[in-house]
Structures are given as C-alpha cells and as structure tokens.
Amino acid sequence: MKWTATLLLAAVALMAPGLAAAIPPEATYVGEKTCIKCHDVEAKHFGHTQHAKAFRQNPRNELEGRVCEACHGPGSLHAQRGNEKKREYLVGFTRDWGTPLDEQNAVCMSCHKGGQRMHWQGSAHDTAKLGCSDCHNAMARFSANGLLRAASVSETCQTCHAQQRADFRKRSHMPVPEGKMSCADCHNPHGSTTKTLLKADSVNEVCYACHAEFRGPMLWEHAPVRENCMNCHAAHGSNHDKLLVAARPYMCQQCHVSPALHAGQFFRGDQSARSQLSGGTPNPRMINRSCQNCHVQVHGSNHPSGARFQR
C-alpha cells in the first residue's frame, strides 16, 4: 500500500507540469531603482529598448510603471540579501533561471496577446516549445526593431532554420542574405492560419505582395500557376534559374505531354548550341530559356491569342 501510494505520487509528479515558479504572494514591488542597484549593467542596455522607454516615459497603467517588475514580478523577496539565486522569487526568461516556459510566455502574452500573435497557441513554434525569449531578448537593443535576439529577423530565424540559411545561398534565391527582404516578409513566426506560418491566406497571396504582375487574373490561365506558385518554384533557393524546382524543359514535362506537338518529346544533349557546332540539330527547348523561349508568358497571358502563352 505504501509503495503503491509512493508510485502513484511519483506518477502524478511525472504527469504534472513543472512546478510553477509562482512568486509568493507576500512579495511586493520595490521599484526600478532598487533593481538597478545590483543590475546596473542590465539597466544600461535595457534603457535603450522600447520597453524601457515606453514604461519609463509613458506608462499606460500602474504595472507598466513598475518597469522591471512589470515582467519579472514583484521583487521584494528577490532583493533580500541571500535570496538572489532563489528561482521562485522572480520570473526569469533565461534557461538557467528555470521559470516554466508557460509562465514566461504568459507574462509576455499578457500584454502582447492578440494582434499578430492571435494564432500562437498550437502553432509550429508553440508546438516546438519555443519561448518568446528564444527569439526575443528584451534586455538590450540587439536589433533596430522588434527586440530580437540578433541584429535582424533573418539572423534570428536562422538560429534554428539552418536548411533555409543554406537555401538562401543557392544560385537563385530570395534576396535575404542581401538584406533586401527577411523571413518576416512572407511568414508570421507567431502563428497564422496556415501550416507554414504564412502571412497571407495562401502561398500565392504571399507571392503577389511583391509579384503583383502575376496576380491577374489572366485571360488564359496556367493551372498550376494559379493554384500554387510552389508547384514550379522553390520558396527559398534553388540550383536552377528563377528558383525553379527542376531544370527546364524537364520540369514542364512533368505535366505536359502534347502528343501531337513537342511537349512530350525527348530532349537531349545533342540539341544544344554547342552540339550544333559538331553537327547536332539544335532545339530551342534545350537552349537558354527552353520552353519559355516561345511560351514566354508562362504565368498566364491576357493576349486574345495567348492560349499557349506565346504573346
């Protein structure tokens, strides 16, 4: 019986969430100046952040006016000599401090809920158990905006998304390493209605934000284009021209056969401009822009004669 009870208690302990580092109710607010007596270096950096400026210069309520304690909780117990390392007396946002992730995020979300964080719960990053402070560092102004942990959105994301970092270095890629766009131009890292955290309702609507010329609608539509740009294009980078997922003409031939015409024909190495110099027969489908030498308006055409995207 005793062992059963012990095992049951152990099971419950295992099942239960980590003990919430709830600050004891007898803790009171001590004010920012008390915090700064020990944390002057932190305060020096913190003072340049948007949180500090907003809380110090134009707090909207009493809690914001607490500055440090608005996020870390009332610090009277923490400030007592000998209590500095006691985790339960303060809300911390670093790994070592040990405040449960749920509690850390709840502090941030108490002010930052809604807006673009409305779909955080159950999002990919939430499921991966990321804390707000995995991507943000509110204690210093590392980035121009956003209180990120790194100097830019892209550098922050690439802390974990190494595959995409490599994709952006391929022959054709979105201009992220060049500073002309960032991950946040297409994604909302806080969650969205789409699985891949897109900012818009579909892949195409994201792409049209910069490539509105393909939005149309066109008189003559190209079905895979209208449905999903990623049928033909890689999102981040590709070994092929124009971020295509495969080399033309073979990419086009993964849909097109055209028994009466040329789409299904076998195109090969004796059909290049170089091979012609050795007696080969050149074929425009194997040279330069391949199928798009003729089917130039591959994203759709508005010309009355453009059913095959040639005008």
Partner 1 sequence: MRPRAIRATLLAACISASLAHAEDGAMPAPGNVLNPAPVNPSTAGRWMDEEGMGTRIPAARSPIGRLYNMPLDAGGEAPARDVPGWINSAYIEFGLVRSSGTGTRGIPGYLDFDSGIYLNTYALTAEKPSEARFFEATGGAAGRDDQFHHVQFGRYNDWKVTAWFDGSPMALTSNYRSLWGGTGTSSLNLSTLTPGGGANAAATQTAIQNALAATPPGELDIVRRRAGVRLDSHLSTSWRMFASFVDDKRDGARPFGMVFGGGGGGGNFEAPQSIDYETQDFVAGVQFAGERNSFNLRASASFFRNGIDTMTVQNPLFVTLNGTNGLSPSLFTQGRFDLPPDNEAFNVKGEYAHAFPEFYRANLTATAALGSMRQDDKFIAPTQLALTGGTVAAGGASLANVWNTPDALSRQSADARIDTRLADVGLAMKPASALDVRAKLRYYETRNHTEYFACNPLTGQWGRLLNDGSGLSIVTANTTPGANPAGTSANAYNTASCSLAAVMAMNLAPVAGNIPIASIPFDYRQTLGSVSADYRVGRASSVNASLEREVMRRDFRERDETTEDRMKLGYVDRGTIEGAMRISYEYDKRGGSDYNTNPYAAFTSAGFGPAPAVNTQSMATWFKSIEQFRSFDLADRTQNIVNGRVDYSIVQNLDGAISFQVKDAMFPAEFGRTGRLRANSATLDVSYQSGSNAVMYGFYTRQWSNMGQRGVHPNGCVVGQTYYFFSDGRVANANTGATAPATPPGTTLVGTQPVTAGNWETACASAAATSPLFPESRAWEVNSHDDNDVLGLGIKYDFGRMKLDASFTRMLGRTRIGYKYNAAALGMTPLQEGLASRGLSDLTFSQNILTASLLAPIDRNISVRLLFRQEIGKIRDWHYDGVTANPVPANNTAFLDGGPVDYRDTLVGIFFQVRTP
Neighbouring residues of 59: CB distance < 8 A, sequence distance ≥ 6: 65
| Amino acid at the residue 310 | Q
Residue appearing with tokens 């699985």 = 195
- Complex with partner 1: residue 6 or 205, whichever CB lies closer: 205
Cα–Cα nearest to 300, from 196, 242, 214: 214
- Minimum Å distance from CB 6 to partner 1? 19
- Minimum Å distance from CB 3 to partner 1? 22
- Minimum Å distance from CB 4 to partner 1? 21
CA–CA distance, 32 with 14 (Å, rounded to integer): 38
- Minimum Å distance from CB 34 to partner 1? 15
- Minimum Å distance from CB 1 to partner 1? 26
CA–CA distance, 202 with 179 (Å, rounded to integer): 25
- Minimum Å distance from CB 165 to partner 1? 7
- Complex with partner 1: residue 64 or 83, whichever CB lies closer: 64
- Minimum Å distance from CB 277 to partner 1? 6
- Minimum Å distance from CB 242 to partner 1? 10
* C-alpha distances out from residue 3 to 8, 9, 13, 49, 258, Å: 8, 10, 15, 54, 76
259, 263, 266, 269 alpha-carbon torsion, rounded to 10°: 160
* C-alpha distances out from residue 13 to 22, 129, 183, Å: 17, 20, 40
- Complex with partner 1: residue 5 or 188, whichever CB lies closer: 188
- Complex with partner 1: residue 59 or 83, whichever CB lies closer: 59
CA–CA distance, 19 with 14 (Å, rounded to integer): 11
Neighbouring residues of 81: CB distance < 8 A, sequence distance ≥ 6: none
Identify whether the C-beta of residue 168 lies closer than 8 Å to the C-beta of residue 174: yes
- Complex with partner 1: residue 79 or 117, whichever CB lies closer: 117
- Complex with partner 1: residue 5 or 213, whichever CB lies closer: 213
- Minimum Å distance from CB 83 to partner 1? 15
Structural tokens at position 227: 């449905």
Q: Which residues of 226-256 are buried (b: 16+ CB within 10 A; e: fewer)?
A: beebebbbbbbbbebeebbeeebbebbbeee
- Complex with partner 1: residue 68 or 301, whichever CB lies closer: 301
- Complex with partner 1: residue 6 or 24, whichever CB lies closer: 24
Query: Phi/psi at 187 (nearest 5 deg)?
Result: -115, 150
- Complex with partner 1: residue 80 or 224, whichever CB lies closer: 224
Residue appearing with tokens 């290049």 = 272
